[in-house]
Each structure stands twice: as structure tokens, then as C-alpha cells.
Structure 1
Amino acid sequence: MAATGAESPRPEQGRRARRRVVAVVLAATVILLAAAVTIALLVAGPGGTPSATTSSGSLAPTPGTTGVVSPSPTADTGPTATTGGQTPLPPEPDPTASSRAQPPTPGATAAPPVPPGLLGQDLTIIPGAGNNIALTFDAGANAAGLDSILATLANRQVAGTFFLTGAWAASNPSGVARIVAAGHRVGNHSMTHPALTRLPESAIAAEIRDAEAAIAAAGGDPRPLFRFPFGDRDERTINAVNSLGYVPVRWTVDTLGWKGTSGGMSRSGVAQRVLGNLQPGGIILMHLGSNPDDGSTLDADALADVIDGIRAAGYGFVTLDRLLGP
């Protein structure tokens, strides 16, 4: 039987159903897009972009802060790490780094400048000192003669110059303090008393800087006076010493008291060597310690005779600071 006009055509109903489905899908899509935009805005930074983080995952400083962040235990604090775009953080101290000599003390006064006229030399007299003599004492072995020498210098009211090795200063810090407290001058005699001409420049520098630090730790400042161990030097080593801010000082006469009685010397022999070689600006070399074989301290024993004889000859006394100016 044919369909009557009272029935709704089936194709039209299908089209309406499909339109409703499409509308629902479109509405759902719009809702999802709106939700995504809202989430993006919530996590975005003030400028509309995601906030930066440090390597440990914590938020970096926002604009208007100082830009300094205290690093967490896992944060990168190496030379390339930055905080908020500021200056790189300094590296952590290396516990294995060398602890070699540093300047005498933080805030210490600068060393006296080395006069240009003294460069390239190992001085044997004090230029322009007139009728004055410098008594100098090398300390590298023991302190056997220290008490006697300090007592004689105090009694005779004479100031001397003491060239100390760093090893001696480290072993005798109270001795260094006593020398300085008595108003005497100290100088650098290397750390371990090696023959410097046999060493490369780096080892020479270490010997001088280590001695400087050891003497400074005991309360003295040896700059800028230096004496070569054994008197062993050449043009290369003199230049190396100058480059470290020191002027090498040799001697005019060696008392030879260090030879001891076992080496044929005596108290009177020490005095005779000094008094027989006096000249203006002379530098006398004596030693602080005892002879290792016989235990004699001839320089300490003869010191009073030496001072009295020098004065009787019309000379006065200066320290080696006179080299640096009147």
C-alpha cells in the first residue's frame, strides 16, 4: 500500500539528527579549547611565557628581585652557573689547591721599593753609608748563639740584620719574635737553604715565597732583603730574586766563625778577620748557630770584641735598611 500524506518523511528526520550531533561536537570542542587557554594562562609567567627554573628545578628570580639565589645542595655552582642573569657565581674552593707562600699578612704594608740602582747586583757594600758597618747574622741551622747575640747587641745598643731561612723561622717562631721585638731587621735566606743556581725559576720562587710566609707567620717581614744560600748566585738567579721584589745582599767579609774550633778558627781569629777588613759601608757576615761538629759558637763569643773594635776604629752601625735610603 502506498504511504499516506499524514506520515513525516524519514529522510528529513535523519538530517535533523545529524545536525544535532555536529552541534554537540562543536560545543564540546569550544569548551575544551577554552579550558586549554585558561590552563596556559595560569601557568604562564608575568610576561605570558613559562617561568624559568634553575638547574635544581626551583623558580628563578622574577623581575624586580635582586637576582641572587641561594643555590640548593644540588644546584650548579661552577664557573658557568648564573643567578638571574647576574654575574657568575665563584667556584667552590679547591681543597687540593697548593697552599704555597702568600704575602706576609692581609693588610700588611707594602714592601719598600727596590731602588733601580740596586737591581742586577749581589751587593758587597752599602753604597753611601759613610763610616758605618752592618752586622748581619745568617740563621739556617740551630739557635745556639741567639741568646748570647741578642744580649750583646742589646748591651752594646747595636741593631743588626738577621737573614732567616723559612725552616729556621718555622722551628723557632719565638726566636723570630724576639729578634723583631728587639728592633733588629730580618731578611729572607730561602726556605730550605739550597744552591739556587741548580734550581729552575719556579723552584727559586717557591723557596723565596715559602720563606717569606714562614717568617711572616712568626711576626717578621723580610722584604726586600735576600741573601743567597752559600753565596751561590749567577745572573739568572739574581734576576729571579729581583723579579720577586728582593735585592740580594752578600758581604764584605766572612768571619769564618762557622768553621768552629775543629776548623781551625777561634774567638780572636773571628775578631781579627773583621777588624782587618773594615771599610766604609762594610757588611759583616756572622752566623747564629753552632758548628755541627764541635758545638762552638765563635761568632756569638766574639761579637762583643768585634763591636768594640769597630767603634774604636771610628765606625758606627746601621742595618741593611740603609740600602733603601738614608
Structure 2
Amino acid sequence: MASATSDTGRRRVVGIVVALAVVAVAIGIGLLTAQRGRPPSSAQPPVTSLVPMTSSPTPSGSRATLPPLPSPTPSVLPTETETTEAGQTPVEPPVTVPPDTVPAQPGTTVPAPPAPFPPSLRGQDLTLIPDAARVVALTFDAGANAAGLPKILSALAAKGVPGTFFLTGNWAETNPAGVGQIVAAGHQVGNHSMTHPAFTSLSDALIAQQVRGAEQAISAAGADPRPFFRFPYGERDTRTIAAVNDLGYVAVRWTVDTLGWKGTSGGISTQMVTDRTLTALTPGEIVLMHIGSNPDDGSTLDADALPQIIDRITAAGYGFVTLDRLLGR
């Protein structure tokens, strides 16, 4: 009897344990099912999208957003045939800067673009002003000193006559005040090379150096020599004329050389200077005189003869012009 009672107790205990185990398994299955039905508490895995994201990170659990479409802005739209990809800022086309407008390096001078002259003047070293009326152009070369400049400027001012002054670069550097006086008086300025060499013995590259060097020196002194050029010693040929034309200059020679530069030591007088000028008088005459003094006797015959030359040309019924007349001015 006691043994049967003990067996019954053991069966009850086993039954209770089994029942509890079944309940625990059921609870576990329920919890697992619920967990699978909602997102875990940790951060979501990254979302891969073919649509570009905005620059700011997408908050967890929110949708990725498209970047805003660019608003068309006429002021920055591409020009000509340029195109841009959607969403990118249009790129303005590159600006081409003419070589002559490129800023100079510190301490250097870049000349302005060559001044134009009529194509009909190419290939010439002019000895007359073409198709001119009864007018004369008085021209003065400056390559030595400035001894005769005060007398020349005074005579021109007193008679109300314009002149054209061909300056070397060296003269302009040595006499910047003289350049200023010439310009202030309203006279024309031309280019007479940098150092006054014979051009026919120079290469095209050296010709360019001489012409541009003088241009820069004269410009630095306050004058613009373009577009008139006079060959030193009058030495020129077809090649050298073409070279200065290509540099933006028309070559101007003379109708008559007064020979005043020879001085009294060379057998010249002021009367001879005047007579030579009047003997060659013709419409469009270009007269060659010099500013500097003779190196041997110190005479300035052209400056001394100038008042009489002006009076006699005026009496002959002629007027005076600068070489601007060649440009139709």
C-alpha cells in the first residue's frame, strides 16, 4: 500500500515538470514570433539606391530624398555650344585675351597694339605726302643731343606751325622732359629706332627689337610714336620696309634734307639750309631737319634757319601739316 502511494506521487511530480516545460516552450515560441515581427532596436543596415542622396545623412527609419532640381538661371547658362550635366553648375566658356592686352610683368612695358595705316602705304618709304595740296610737313630727327630743341619749339609756337619729331629710344630716355615739351605743344611724334643702327644689316628679329625698344622708351616718356617710322641714315630695302610695316609702322623718308646737320665745319650755313628747302618746295614736301648740334662745331643750323624757312614757305602760298595727313586726318 505504501509503495503504490509513492509511485503515484512520483507520477504527479513528473507530470507537473512536463507541463511546466511545455508552457515554457510555448512562451519562448511566442516571444520569438513577436521579435521577428518588428525591426530590431539597433541601427538599420544601409540602403542601396540608384538615386543620389542629399548631402546630409538620412535619419534612421526615414526615406531617402532626391536632391532639389536646379533652378534655371539665365545669367549662368552655358553659351554657344557648351552643355552641362543635370544638377551641375554650368561652366562659362574660357575668355581669350589678345596677346597685346596681357598685363606686363613688374618692371616691363607692353606696347599697345599697332596703330593702323592705309594699306596703300605698305611697301613704301614715302618721300612726299601723296595727293597733298600746297602743304609742307616739317620733320625733325632727334638722336644726338637736344641743343636745338628750345629754338625749334619757340619758332614753331611763334608761327603757329605743327611739326613731326622722329625720336630714337635713347634720346627719349635721356630727354624725357623734351618729349613732354614736344607733346605738350601738340606736335606729332614718330619712331626713329632705339639706337640708330643701319637697318639693312640687321635681322628681322633685331629690327623688331629696335622698333619695339624705341616704342617702349618713347611711350614711357609720354608720347605715342605710332604709326610713323624713319630709317636711320635713310638706309632701307624691300625687306626692312616690310619688317617695319609688319610691326605696325609706315616708313617715311623725306623730299629734301637741309644738310644742317653738317654744321658750319661742313661748309653749310643757315642761308643754305633755307635755300635747299625752298628749292625743293612742292605740294606734299617733307623736310628733314635735326634737333641736335653738330658734334664738331656745336652749331644748330636747322634751328637757326627755321623762322626764315617758315616765313618763305608761307609767302609762297603753302601751309603746314604733320604726317597725320598721310592717314587722311
The normalised TM-score by structure 2 is: 0.69
Q: Once the 2 structures are TM-superposed, how far is the Cα of residue 121 of structure 1 from its aligned partner?
A: 0.2
Name 2:288's counterpart in structure 1: 285
Structure 2 residue matching 1:162: 3-state secondary structure: strand
Name 2:111's counterpart in structure 1: 102
Name 2:265's counterpart in structure 1: 262
**Bigger Rg over Cα:** 2
Name 2:255's counterpart in structure 1: 252
Structure 1 residue matching 2:126: 3-state secondary structure: coil
C-alpha distance in 2, partners of 1:101/1:137?
Answer: 26
Name 1:272's counterpart in structure 2: 275
Structure 1 residue matching 2:125: 3-state secondary structure: coil
Please, which of 128, 136, 156 is the counterpart of residue 125 of structure 1? Answer: 128
Q: How do 1:142-291 and structure 2 match up within 5 A?
A: 142-291=145-294
Q: Once the 2 structures are TM-superposed, how far is the Cα of residue 102 of structure 1 from its aligned partner?
A: 2.5
Q: Once the 2 structures are TM-superposed, how far is the Cα of residue 103 of structure 1 from its aligned partner?
A: 2.3
Q: Which 4+ stretches in 1 moved above 2 angstroms? A: 95-104
Contact 1:135 1:284 in 2 (8 A): yes
Please, which of 302, 305, 309 is the counterpart of residue 306 of structure 1? Answer: 309
Contact 1:255 1:299 in 2 (8 A): yes
C-alpha distance in 2, partners of 1:249/1:101?
Answer: 24
Q: Once the 2 structures are TM-superposed, how far is the Cα of residue 314 of structure 1 from its aligned partner?
A: 1.5
The normalised TM-score by structure 1 is: 0.69
Q: Once the 2 structures are TM-superposed, how far is the Cα of residue 98 of structure 1 from its aligned partner?
A: 9.8
Please give the per-residue CA displacement for 1:279-307, whole angstroms capped at 9, x wherever unaligned: 11000000000011111100000001111
Name 1:135's counterpart in structure 2: 138
**Structure 1 residues 122 and 303: alpha-carbon distance in aligned structure 2, compared to 1, 3 A threshold:** same
Gaps of 5+ in 2: 1-44, 46-90, 93-101
Contact 1:100 1:206 in 2 (8 A): no
Q: Once the 2 structures are TM-superposed, how far is the Cα of residue 99 of structure 1 from its aligned partner?
A: 4.2
Gaps of 5+ in 1: 1-33, 35-85, 88-92, 105-109
Q: When the two structures are aligned, how many residues end up with a matched partner? A: 291
**Structure 1 residues 263 and 226: alpha-carbon distance in aligned structure 2, compared to 1, 3 A threshold:** same
Q: Once the 2 structures are TM-superposed, how far is the Cα of residue 100 of structure 1 from its aligned partner?
A: 6.6
C-alpha distance in 2, partners of 1:97/1:184?
Answer: 31
Contact 1:101 1:209 in 2 (8 A): no
Contact 1:101 1:212 in 2 (8 A): no
Name 1:296's counterpart in structure 2: 299
C-alpha distance in 2, partners of 1:102/1:215?
Answer: 10
Q: Once the 2 structures are TM-superposed, how far is the Cα of residue 219 of structure 1 from its aligned partner?
A: 1.2
Identity %: 67
Structure 2 residue matching 1:302: 3-state secondary structure: helix
Structure 2 residue matching 1:154: 3-state secondary structure: helix
Please give the per-residue CA displacement for 1:81-112, whole angstroms capped at 9, x wherever unaligned: xxxxx99xxxxx9x9999475328xxxxx72x
Structure 1 residue matching 2:207: 3-state secondary structure: helix
Structure 1 residue matching 2:293: 3-state secondary structure: coil
Q: How do 1:35-54 and structure 2 match up within 5 A?
A: none
